[in-house]
Structure 1
Amino acid sequence: MDRDTQVDLTGDRSISIGSAAAFSSVSEISAGRHDLIQQAALVVEQGRHRFYTLVLPSSILAASCVVETRNDNPENGFQRLLDARRAKSIARYIDAGFGTVPGAIVLSAQACASLRYDLEKGVVEFQPEPRAFLIIDGQHRVYGFKLAKKSVSTPVIIYDKLSRAQECHLFMDINTKQKPVPNELLLDIRRLSEVETKTDALFHSVFDLFNTREDSALVGMLSPAEKRKGLLSRVTFNAAMRSIKKAFDGASAEDVYQVFNAYLTGCRHGLGLHGLDANIVHPALFKALALLFINVAERVADRHGAQYTVANFEEVLIPFFRRLKKSDLPRVGLGPAGLYDYFNKALSAGFLIKQWIFA
């Protein structure tokens, strides 16, 4: 007998799932085909909880799961409570053929699922009713499954006989105690998976140069893969660089490094006038100084052409930093944009007449 189309000898229709094709369409459930689903499963006990772990086609999850129990129409819950753009992104990912979504979907079986575990066979049985399972974790993935044209095998964890209070407690535990992957690590993963944008690839290489070169203005002050106090993360560095990316259009990582390193060296010397050169890694201050780069570079170019040396940058930066007070670096209560506006005014104050016309 074909494992994918097994029929129970008692007369009850059942499907023992061997692939994601066992239920190829969400409409099969919504149209009234509620065959008993049978699937091999393991029983896991953790503390006071017991759950089943198994693999199901994403199409079954799409047709039998809800994100809330109060709404009569399961579809309304997905549309009202979740981010459609995120779900569409997951659907496109699956339909494009890249789709591996290995994280387990965590469900709570509802009464209409008639969930039963056959200890002798090691099989979970349930009715794939439209409201058979409440999603505890994985709401957007299941919403993506509803929108996708293809079905994929999906790891699932099913809790049974939970009270509403237990469901809420489990939801809060999962969504407050799990730590997401750091953004700094995601940037490294994007590079390894070859899905970086051209801009991200440039900034990644520039950061690596700042992190490894002995003449770097930021040597020993960077943290590539995680946030660490007193160090500048890759995420903060990239955000600062992205704000001035047009200035480096078409430039190589080496060219960007040479010019921006000379600028940051001048900034550190300027901060050093106030005994604050280590403040260069303060996120808001670093972003504000990055925004100021174009204004300073324009003044250097007017005086020296394309000679972006430390000395030429300092000719502009040192008078600027002398106009500032220690409390301005950074100024309490101002974010990057506010600091930039404040710095730009200080850069321009008295500068045109004293420094340009009579230089």
Structure 2
Amino acid sequence: MAELPQKGEANLNDEARLRYSVSLVKQAGVQFYTLTMPSEVLARTCKVSTRNEDPAQGFQRELDSKRAREIADYIDSGQGTIPSSVVLSAQPEADLKIVGRGKTLEFNDAKGAFLILDGQHRVYGFSKAKTSLRVPVVVYNGLSRKEETRLFIDINTKQKPVPSQLLLDIKNLADLETDVEQTLRDIFDLFSNRRKSVLKGRMSPADSAKNKINRVTFNQSVKPLLSLFSDREPSEIFDVLNSFLIAMDEETQKKTDEPVLTKPVVFRAYLGFFKPVAQRTVDRFGQVYTPANFAEIVSPVFQNLRASKLTSPGTSPTSLRDYLTDRLSSKLSL
């Protein structure tokens, strides 16, 4: 069992006992206790059990010190609150007792008194933070290792994480967007709403949907291109990228009726292919970024191209991008 790094450990003897007011909760024939504990108490009395440390009995992932440091900084910023409960299983070292007519939980102030079932990085973060705070806690008592493991599995499979695309979609409501994220949001919204957008009706802002581009895929694809546009406004960036994608989509439709443009691998590969195409477009037509001008550059790339390269592109946008770039070079004529 791995002990969490200790913070502010007092000179306590092995007989030291701590007491906290609790509420008893019963669910589906199982009971547990809810309470709050000081973060420093959690830091010095909790442990984790990892698969690497104990292949036979361990069931948790390794602690990530970077993630814990981020939690500690969030707490120490003075603006951070962590209302979700840490879930613990009392171990023999705790010698846990319920006293005071069932209203008080008493346990040894000892290392390894509790095994963390959920919240190991929060507790690790508490150990790194300078700030003390009261933390909601759920405590199970008398669980076997099998029961602890099953509870760990339930907690980590029944609780569905918030999709990344939803977090991106609501960041502006929390006033947390960076300038780059705001620019990407504006461009995404233009692709979603402009009548002339090649992606109108094919964008999904808050979740993943078949044959639609979500914010995560869009941001991954467009962010590397922003440096090419200097101080251009989002509407200008949209006009250029939309013209390019119209040309790519029209050439694609000559090969297949499948909506491959909205395949994440294809979409990311196409936008990865934008830079060399844009350079040749500028060389031939100047800064006149029309679908027709882009088509002049990309149409040779699609000549004799197997449709399967687009309908079954594999999992690597980079491989498809490089394939298109190689074809562009091989079609060069002077």
Q: Distance in 2 between matches of 1:310 and 1:200?
A: 27
- Shift of residue 191, structure 1, vs aligned partner: 2.4
- Shift of residue 257, structure 1, vs aligned partner: 0.8
The amino acid of 1:243's aligned partner reads P
Please, which of 111, 132, 151 is the counterpart of residue 132 of structure 2? Answer: 151
- Shift of residue 179, structure 1, vs aligned partner: 1.4
The amino acid of 1:50's aligned partner reads Q
Please, which of 41, 60, 73 is the counterpart of residue 92 of structure 1? Answer: 73
Deviations 1:87-111 (A, max 9, x none): 1111111111122111110000112
Aligned residue number for residue 292 of structure 1: 273
Please, which of 203, 228, 231 is the counterpart of residue 184 of structure 2? Answer: 203
- Shift of residue 214, structure 1, vs aligned partner: 1.3
Aligned residue number for residue 114 of structure 2: 133
Residues 1:273 and 2:222 are matched in the alignment = no
1:259–1:70 CA distance, 2 compared to 1 (3 A): closer
- Computing the radius of gyration from Cα coordinates, the structure with the larger value is 1
Aligned residue number for residue 331 of structure 2: 350
The amino acid of 1:226's aligned partner reads D
1:277–1:298 CA distance, 2 compared to 1 (3 A): farther
Mean CA deviation greater in 300-309 or 38-47? 38-47
Aligned residue number for residue 231 of structure 1: 212
- Shift of residue 69, structure 1, vs aligned partner: 9.3
Query: Is the Cα–Cα contact under 8 Å of residues 8 and 40 in structure 2 kept in the other structure?
Result: no
Mean CA deviation greater in 81-90 or 174-183? 174-183
Deviations 1:17-42 (A, max 9, x none): xxxxxxxx943446548643222222
- Shift of residue 277, structure 1, vs aligned partner: 6.2
TM-score, normalisation: structure 1: 0.83
- Shift of residue 342, structure 1, vs aligned partner: 0.7
The amino acid of 1:337's aligned partner reads T
* Two-structure CA RMSD over aligned residues (Å): 2.4
- Shift of residue 333, structure 1, vs aligned partner: 3.6
Mean CA deviation greater in 62-71 or 180-189? 62-71
Aligned residue number for residue 21 of structure 1: none
Q: Distance in 1 between matches of 2:146 and 2:77?
A: 39
1:225–1:288 CA distance, 2 compared to 1 (3 A): same
Query: Is the Cα–Cα contact under 8 Å of residues 269 and 317 in structure 2 kept in the other structure?
Result: yes
- Shift of residue 246, structure 1, vs aligned partner: 2.2
Aligned residue number for residue 86 of structure 2: 105
Aligned residue number for residue 3 of structure 2: none
Query: Is the Cα–Cα contact under 8 Å of residues 29 and 130 in structure 1 kept in the other structure?
Result: no
Q: Distance in 2 between matches of 1:305 and 1:237?
A: 27
Residues 1:54 and 2:32 are matched in the alignment = no
Q: Distance in 1 between matches of 2:201 and 2:93?
A: 60
Q: Distance in 2 between matches of 1:302 and 1:69?
A: 58
Please, which of 38, 47, 52 is the counterpart of residue 19 of structure 2? Answer: 38
Aligned residues: 323
- Shift of residue 242, structure 1, vs aligned partner: 2.4
- Shift of residue 250, structure 1, vs aligned partner: 2.8
Q: Distance in 1 between matches of 2:82 and 2:208?
A: 27
Mean CA deviation greater in 153-162 or 185-194? 185-194
Query: Is the Cα–Cα contact under 8 Å of residues 266 and 313 in structure 1 kept in the other structure?
Result: yes
Q: Distance in 2 between matches of 1:26 and 1:70?
A: 25
Q: Distance in 1 between matches of 2:218 and 2:306?
A: 25
* Relative contact order higher in (CA < 8 Å, ≥ 6 apart): 2
Q: Distance in 2 between matches of 1:71 and 1:322?
A: 53
Q: Distance in 2 between matches of 1:231 and 1:249?
A: 28
The amino acid of 2:242's aligned partner reads N
- Shift of residue 325, structure 1, vs aligned partner: 2.1
- Shift of residue 198, structure 1, vs aligned partner: 2.0
- Shift of residue 243, structure 1, vs aligned partner: 3.1
The amino acid of 1:67's aligned partner reads V
Unmatched runs of 5 consecutive residues or more in structure 1: 1-24
Query: Is the Cα–Cα contact under 8 Å of residues 202 and 253 in structure 1 kept in the other structure?
Result: yes
TM-score, normalisation: structure 2: 0.89
> How do residues 247-258 of structure 1 correspond to structure 2 at under 5 angstroms?
247-258=228-239
The amino acid of 2:88's aligned partner reads L
Deviations 1:170-211 (A, max 9, x none): 112212332111011111233222222222221111111111
Aligned residue number for residue 241 of structure 1: 222
Mean CA deviation greater in 199-208 or 154-163? 199-208
> How do residues 140-179 of structure 1 correspond to structure 2 at under 5 angstroms?
140-179=121-160
The amino acid of 1:294's aligned partner reads K
Q: Distance in 2 between matches of 1:324 and 1:218?
A: 23
Query: Is the Cα–Cα contact under 8 Å of residues 270 and 322 in structure 1 kept in the other structure?
Result: no
Aligned residue number for residue 181 of structure 1: 162
1:290–1:169 CA distance, 2 compared to 1 (3 A): same
Q: Distance in 2 between matches of 1:140 and 1:243?
A: 32
Q: Distance in 2 between matches of 1:256 and 1:215?
A: 14
